[in-house]
Amino acid sequence: MPVSLMRNGLTAENSIFSQKPSINVKRSKFDLSRLNCFTSDIGMLVPVDLIPTLPGDVFDLSCQYQIDFRPLLVPTLTAYKVRVHYYYCKMSDLYEGWESFISKGRSGNLSLNLPSIPASILSASNFSGLTDPNFKSVDGSYCLYTPCSLPSYLLGKPHYVQDSASLFLPFGSSYSSTGFSVSSVNSLPFLMYQKIYRSNYLDPNLYSNGVVKQDVWFPDDLDSSLWRISYSSSNLIDGCRFAPIGTHLVGSIANFVPIAQPVGSSSSVGDNYVNLLQLRYAMFTNDMFTTALPFLQRGLQTSLDLDVNGVSLTSTFQGIQDTLTFSGSLGTSTVSLSGNTN
């Protein structure tokens, strides 16, 4: 036996090469419990928490909630369900240049800035477009701090709020200032919210078939990596108008409820960008009626090309018709029908 193994009390079967190394590193443990009080509408997809993570983090998640209803005008005729869903999204799935941003490139000298929403948008005082239910006005009219606003749940204190008389009206137009200044914020959490809505709560069958097309929400290219902010942020305008990579931001239509563009329509009614500041509503639960689609498959029906000439078909029926002769040429698209009856 080698002297080194004898000195350490190890045998050939119990050498350092047959032992599995283990690292016993003490981990820090923190209590991240918090209270989140808010008001929402029925059907809203409300983000209740946003937790940044690092490699090696372990979270033990649980949720308790209490719901208080305002006095109802009429009794409820349906059951209300509250669901809490947890999602995880990598930063590289939101921003194409994330790995270069976090590592500063191969040389270590590359400097990138995360996509952000400027303070001029978040502190806009022009709310003239909020009364438009389609939210087609985009110049400072993003419906920031109403129940239809996502920043009111992700940012906290707003710069402008509605007056007390219309606090919970989705399309109110009377506002007052809080004096709270909002600086530029990261656009990635807002894109993460829209990706979750698109992947889990929006039915692609209603937005991508042979009748309508949707190049923004469900493009024909199934590459999921296109639905993120590009390296140069060229598909993001003002930090909150987003389109998939390779799609040009044309016009300014982002409807309150996503609308697809009818095929062959000359007027543009479908969304041509995604408003990252828009709070979304979940669709109703699918049943046998909502899943009974008026088409057999997505896209155009499958066709079979034939080239047949000089076809003649003769058939004899007993009863009303004695002889029915059908002759046609599918290649030249001509059909003739002849026959005699009693």
- Residue 164 has a pLDDT of 47
- The verdict on 287 and 318 lying in the same domain is no
Q: Which residue range is the domain that position 80 belongs to?
A: 28-296
pLDDT over 90, % of the chain: 8
Buried b / exposed e over 231-243, threshold 16 CB at 10 Å, is eebebbebbbbbb
Q: What is the mean pLDDT of the chain?
A: 71
Q: Is 67 domain-assigned?
A: yes
Same structural domain for residues 62 and 171? yes
Among 87-91, 172-176, 219-223, 258-262, name the one with the lowest average pLDDT: 172-176
| 254 domain residue, yes or no | yes
The reply to whether 282 falls in a domain is yes
Do 277 and 317 fall within a single domain?
A: no
The more confident residue out of 153 and 291 is 153
Is 11 a domain residue? no
> Does residue 20 lie within any of the structural domains?
no
Q: Is 191 inside any structural domain?
A: yes
> For residue 278, what is the DSSP state?
B
> In which residue are the tokens 């690292």 written?
23
pLDDT at 7: 54
Q: Are residues 185 and 241 in the same domain?
A: yes
Phi, psi of 164 (to 5 degrees): -60, -25
**pLDDT of res. 144:** 54
pLDDT of residue 263: 62
- Asked if pLDDT for residue 37 goes beyond 80, the answer is yes
**Number of domains within the chain:** 2
- Does 321 lie in the same domain as 259? no
Give the tens place of pLDDT for each residue, 205-240: 777 655 556 677 877 777 778 889 988 888 888 777
pLDDT on residue 109: 86
Residue 16 belongs to some domain of the structure: no
Residues 231 and 325 placed together within one structural domain of the fold = no
Judgement on whether residues 201 and 245 belong to the same structural domain of the protein:
yes
Does 152 share its domain with 220?
yes
**C-alpha distance from residue 156 to each of 112, 159, 188, 202, 298 (Å):** 27, 10, 17, 27, 42
Close Cβ partners of 161 (under 8 Å, ≥ 6 residues apart)? 145, 167, 175, 176, 178
Examine the domain organization and report whether 317 and 279 are in the same domain: no
- Same domain for 287 and 326: no
Average pLDDT, stretch 68-91? 86
Q: 94 pLDDT band (50/70/90 cuts)?
A: very high
Taking alpha carbons only, the member of 211, 217, 199 closest to residue 297 is 211
Mean pLDDT across 261-288: 73
Question: 283: which DSSP letter?
Answer: P
162 shares a domain with 131 = yes
pTM (2 decimals)? 0.71
Using CB atoms within 10 Å of the CB of residue 249, give its burial: 0 to 12 exposed, 13 to 18 middle, 19+ buried.
middle
Q: Mark whether 276 and 321 lie in a shared domain.
A: no
Residue 107 lies in a domain: yes
Phi-psi region of 3 (alpha: psi -120 to 50; beta: other; left: phi over 0): alpha
